[in-house]
Structure 1
Amino acid sequence: MKQGIKKRTTQENKEIEALERISSSSYMVVLGNPLLNARFDLTAFQMKIFHFLVLNTDQTSSGFKVTKVKVSEVSQFLKTKTSDYLYNLLEKESRKLMKKEIFLEDERGWKVANILAQIEYHKKEGAFSFLFPPMLDAYLLQLKKNFTYIDVRNIVSMDSVYAIRFYGFCKEFERFGKFQFTVEEMRRMFNLENKYELYGLFKQKVVVKAQDELIKNSDLIFDFNEIKEGKKVVALQFVIRKNPNKTQAQLEVETNPTSQEAEDSNYEVVESNTQPNFESSTLQRLSGIVQVWGIDSSTLQNWLEQYPIEQVILGVEYVQTELEKEPKKIKNIPAYLKTIVSSSQLVERQKAVEEEKRVLKAVLKKSENEKLQLEQLKQQQDDFLHEVYKQKKKLVLESLQQNHQLYQRVLNSLNTSAFSAIYYDSYVSKVGTEISLDSFLAYFNENTGFEAIVITTLEHYHDLNLFEGLVKHYGAQAKALGLNYF
């Protein structure tokens, strides 16, 4: 090594690696591991928005700065079309993010922070400005150790927040090939102490659902083994594998669809009704469940050949749920399961439920769109009336300055009206004996109530026709907005 050239430390190499990985892809973010293992309660949509905001943050800076993103960019990230519904959804969810807390722990202790420090909507630009709180800078900025790279393309199509969390774990522990959590640790991280209290439900709704979604959407997948104390499952060991059906090349293709695919796409921001991925890992999982009930693999395989695989899965899940409710309710589980699996009732019921959800969602969306249209019209009317009022005030000031006797006429009108005398008395009380055009204009400009009553009074002076030009200029626009007068 030449003299004068300093050898880089391991930490410096990691810092350079992080910077290179961020700059190598416009889809890569770097997250501190305590953030991945933190306790918080977010929806899948909120998690995606959080990742999008991190993606648009300069992670090489020394502190957070206010960053502006366009709704069209969010739409592209989420693979949806830009619409009033998306604007409204982003407004609601970003405001919820402002209130969400994240509980962070590391070797030094714990801390609690809000996920966002501020958010602002810029209507004319169709954009949002956001700012992360300073407490998160140790987990998002200039990371030198204890961090994980996330390619956000793996999570944008996931419908389960647990799948997004598990993908983060898989990336964090990818170099080890496995990781392990106790059931209580997972409940705490996911904020589920009072939900899915039966282990079977927790396993099905959280772990298995995440497993299926990773198989469908991400480059990493996992298998898991249960660790028991007696008959109770106390922990899960996860084995991480590459997903043979979701390579980096496929991510690139999905991110850059052909022009025809882009033209055919017409996505809405709605929950996807994803079906389980029926690969070997799913079948192995089913086999593991039914073997406990005394049903061998050949019987399961025979059912899969006779009936739709969805029907078999629903049947197994149904019996599993029934046993969790009342373990001794079913006397002959194999016979009972065979009856359930051979019937299409569960599939038909699920389709009926899904159709009801679809119809309800469509009704709610229509109602939401109508509400948004009314709100938008109200805002347009308010903006229009504000603009007209500004023009009226401008005309009044010009007329008062051109006609020095006009203010006296207005004062006389105010003084002789029981309704407006209070404004006359207020003006006289303010200026005393200094009644003049200058004092009138000064009070007009500093007192909104006096300003409004003066303009209203001048509107009734038909001999002046002071606002005739405004009526002609703004009449058509007022009519288009449903305003009969302004």
Structure 2
Amino acid sequence: MTSFAINQGYQQQLFSQPMVVAPSVENEISADVIEQLNDLIMAQYEMSLFERRIFIAIIEQISNNLLEVGGMKVVPEIVLDARQIIAASGLKGESAFVELQKATTNLIKHVCKITETDGLLQVSLLSSAKYMKGKGQIKLRIDANLHPYLLKLKNQFSIYSLEKLILFKSYYSQCLYELFRKLPKQNGTIMISIEQLRKILRIGESEYERYFDFKRYIIQQAQKELAIHDTSFDFKEKKQGKKVIALQFIFK
């Protein structure tokens, strides 16, 4: 079961511009900044292709106001066209519907952990999903406690921006795309240490241990995928002896 955490103490920073102070090529990014980047980048996109498409559709349709039903505040029901989601994903046949059902199940299991002023809120990203027989529709329910946070995402990102993220083949390409958009640049460049990149991307110590693999499967893959976007880049390696300790990203 996946989860994400948002500390209410810096929500305003997290969802406003500018996010961080531009680091010089000599200074490291602060731990606070790394935590903010972790929450912003990783929280939203640690999902399969179908899950991300459903999530974007939810963000697109989320109502600005709650309804009152039986004395309780509820989020208006969201209705999705299942066939449209499947067509956009390039899948066909019964297996596509199976994958779609798997995606909604995972979103129901996807627990959000939100630190609020009066305590810790744990809430599923999706409360329920009902497939309407013979209509090709899915009716989705969202918990009212999650509503203000989804609204903030809607205000922070355009649907066009979110749609671009789901086109990337590599999960890390998505993360780097958003990172490069958020970090201010000095003379069109950003310098980040390998250690910091691993922290921001939450890469475990046993993953991509060799720099060669890290470079090939994360950096160069992202370079290939971001080549057609507004964050296309080249990079230079900064070494300490023979060891690569940082990368300078140069944006075209």
Q: Which residue of 1 aligns with 2:235?
A: 224
Deviation at 1:47, TM superposition (A): 3.2
The answer to whether structure 1 residue 157 and structure 2 residue 161 are counterparts is no
Code of the residue aligned with 2:42 in structure 1: it is A
Task: Indicate whether 1:36 and 2:40 are aligned.
Answer: yes
The answer to whether structure 1 residue 168 and structure 2 residue 178 are counterparts is yes
Give the deviation of 1:229 after TM superposition.
4.8
Amino acid at match of 1:37: I
Superposed, 1:323-362 pairs within 5 Å as: none
Structure 2 counterpart SS, 1:220: coil
Structure-1 separation of matches of 2:124 and 2:216: 30
Partner of 1:120: 130
**TM-score, normalised to structure 2's length?**
0.61
- Against the structure 1 CA distance between its residues 207 and 36, is the aligned structure 2 distance closer, same or farther, given a 3 Å change threshold? farther
In the TM superposition, residue 188 of structure 1 has moved relative to its aligned partner by 4.3
Equivalent position of 2:57 in the other structure: 52
Structure 2: how far apart are the matches of 1:95 and 1:234? 41
Partner residue in 1 for 2:150 = 140
| Contact 2:237-2:244 at 8 Å conserved across structures | yes
The residue identity in structure 2 corresponding to 1:71 is A
Q: In the aligned structure 2, how far is the partner of 1:219 from the partner of 1:239?
A: 12
Q: Number of paired residues?
A: 207
C-alpha contact (below 8 Å) 1:36/1:169 kept by paired residues? no
Give the whole-Å Cα distance in 2 for the aligned partners of 1:110 and 1:226: 42
The secondary structure found in structure 2 opposite 1:119 is: strand
Residue 230 (structure 1) shift: 4.8
Where structure 1 has 5 or more consecutive residues not aligned to the other structure, the ranges are 1-10, 16-31, 242-486
Taking the aligned partners of 2:239 and 2:165, their CA distance within structure 1 comes to 31
Change beyond 3 A, Cα 1:86–1:102: same
Alignment of 1:290-329 (within 5 A): none
Letter in 1 for 2:40: L
Deviations 1:17-43 (A, max 9, x none): xxxxxxxxxxxxxxx977533357434
Assess, with a 3 A threshold, how the Cα gap between structure 1 residues 239 and 81 changes in structure 2: closer, same or farther.
Answer: same
Q: Is the counterpart of residue 98 in structure 1 residue 108 in structure 2?
A: yes
Counterpart Cα distance in 2 of 1:112 and 1:185: 29
In the alignment, the residues of structure 1 paired with residue 61 and residue 171 of structure 2 have an alpha-carbon distance, to the nearest angstrom, of: 21
The answer as to whether partners of 1:100 and 1:114 remain within 8 angstroms in 2 is yes
Say if 2:42 and 2:175, in contact at 8 Å, map to a contact too. Answer: no
State the match for 1:210 in structure 2: 222
Is 1:201–2:201 an aligned residue pair? no
Aligned to 1:314: none
Q: Using the TM superposition, give the Cα deviation of residue 214 of structure 1 relative to its aligned residue in structure 2, in angstroms.
A: 1.8
CA distance in 1, matches of 2:239, 2:49: 30
User: Contact between 1:48 and 1:155, CA under 8 Å: does it hold in 2?
Assistant: no
Q: 1:180 to 1:100 in 2, by over 3 A?
A: farther
Q: CA RMSD in A?
A: 4.1
Report the CA distance shift for 1:224/1:94 in structure 2 as closer, same or farther (over 3 A).
farther
Q: 1:192 to 1:94 in 2, by over 3 A?
A: farther
What corresponds to 2:198 in structure 1? Answer: 187
Higher relative contact order (CA 8 A, sep 6+): 2
- Which letter does structure 2 place at the counterpart of 1:165? C
Question: Greater Rg, structure 1 or structure 2?
Answer: 1
Q: Secondary structure at the match of 2:232?
A: strand
For the structure 1 residues 235 and 44, does the alpha-carbon distance in structure 2 shift closer, same or farther, using more than 3 Å as the test?
farther
CA distance in 2, matches of 1:185, 1:111: 29
Larger strand proportion, structure 1 or 2? 2
More helix by share: 1
Deviation string for 1:86-145 (max 9, x for gaps)? 211111122123323567799xx9987643333332233222223445565454315698
| TM-score, with structure 1 as normaliser | 0.35
Q: CA 1:41/1:67 → structure 2, altered by over 3 Å: closer, same or farther?
A: same
